[in-house]
Structure 1
Amino acid sequence: MREEKLTIFTPTYNRAYTLKKLYASLIEQINQNFEWLIVDDGSTDNTEEVVKQWVDEKKITIRYFKQRNGGKQRAHNKGVEICNTELFICVDSDDYIVKDSVDKILKKWKEVCDDKNVAGIIALRGKDEKNPLGTDMPKRKYSTLSDLYSKDKFRGDTSLVYRTEILKQFPYWVAKDEKFIGEGYVYQQIDQNYCMALLPEIVIVCKYLEDGYTKNVRKLTKNNPKSYARLKKQTIQYSETWKERYMQTILYMVGCRLAKQSQIKEAPYKALAVLAYFPAWLTWKIFYKNA
């Protein structure tokens, strides 16, 4: 019996109408050495019935887990927890993958897997199968995700494949009464100790829907202020320049104001917090007070 190497993880909530395209792209993969792990975050549509039909077709290996609605990050934590393959990639319910994506990922992984300093692979996302959703990658073999954006000036979205054993060490933190924290919360921590292999190929094709996370960033911040403040506090601590620390301190204090938490007392740099107080208040007033 074949043992799958890669988990393609999909968190979903009331997206039965979009999953069909992803499923079609998975059954067309030229390399079938993967399993599809779906964590249903409390859907009230017919997601469960649709997935059960696909399981019964037995065209690919599918695992389905349904949980009480808790947001994408809690679904991600559950997916990582129950994942039993070496590699893990998140493919959202409104995305699909190129037909040779699994093959490209596994071939790249074979080149670098013996290096324990490598946490995974950074590949490209595309607006279609030929055009990346952003700039091209630098012509080198390794980078951290943060260096890719800050030092190489990469712009756009990436497809991230991680060693599952590493992801298990860095679960998402989400406040008890909230449902979302930015994905950077995990990626920043991994970047402190590991690098990533670069794969300058499109593996995921992405379409942002009106009900998706990307289109609702400001609303997410307002609805999840404690988690937002925690993410920004971590970002300040990992920032390499004072300019970046200052800008992130402004955003941290906006989150604290929205969460009705002390803005200066818990700030990593008290002097920066004092300097950031008025810009943070202005940002809150313009973008959030009446939002």
Structure 2
Amino acid sequence: MPLCASIPETVDTDTNTRHLYLEDLDKCMKSFNDALTSTMNAYRNLLTSFDQVAQVYGNVAQECGDEVRKPVGEFRDGMRDLKDKGGFEVFNREIFAGTISVMEPVRVDLKKALKSFKNLKSKQKEYDSVRYDLEQTEKSYAKKNKSLSGSSSYKKTRGKRDKAKASFEQSREAFGQEVKALQATTKSVLLQSLNNYLHCTAAFCGQLEATMNGYRTDVDSQGSTTFANNHMDELKEKAEAESMMRRSIRKREASLLYHTESDSRPNVPSAGGDHYQEDLKADAESASRNTDADRAPSMHDGVNGYGNEDAANPLMGVNGHE
């Protein structure tokens, strides 16, 4: 084989698309901790800002008399305590334990899937190389109008090709199982992580609201206030109304989804699909699909779906081109 010869690679659009999905998810997971760390730093800076504002109020109130200086001083001391001894440490700990740590299984399965893909590409390269050698021998004998039946080297190379093909298909199946496991893991922990993040954030902000309201001096014994800021009150009321509506819509959609899934199945192949030949019909569309965890293409068995390779490369052109 000439040194400059370029060996055609096996075309497998589904595998390539799944690899793009893994790369995208890998980037997301690498930025996940950074994004949350940035968020926690922002809250820490917010508490520092509260403390700085309170110190300014305290300084201004020094010459205002006890009726003003005392409540302002309490506010000043309270903001210092909020920064130094408040609930931030609990908030930070719970975010790490319930939001970051629960995503660790995704990282583990992602690492396994990427390792499996690397092994698959190695097996594919071996298969492509021996297949190419075999094809070159076939072309050479055909050009010379000679029969291959008497070539012992051809029989040996064909045996190597069949062995490499079996190893390649086994690795392809293993890669599919790793992708399937990754999808299942992501689905099982993602909402758990998100809900903990939302709960912790809402609870921490609720603590800030309760703490701030505790230093107000315009609240009477019945809890009424003499000071009103309708614009800010409207913001909170709007958020509460939108939250109620969002939950109502989500509940309704969940009910519809349950009934829909019981009546039909999606056309997009799942990671656990076993109908390789049927899904080949849809492979022309697979290259344009999104690569998020719920839409990552499936890894089908394909063990007996390639046909006879003695005449030509069975995978060339099977799934279309990138």
After TM superposition, the score normalised by the length of structure 2 is 0.21
Say which structure, 1 or 2, has more relative contact order (CA 8 Å, 6+ apart). Answer: 2
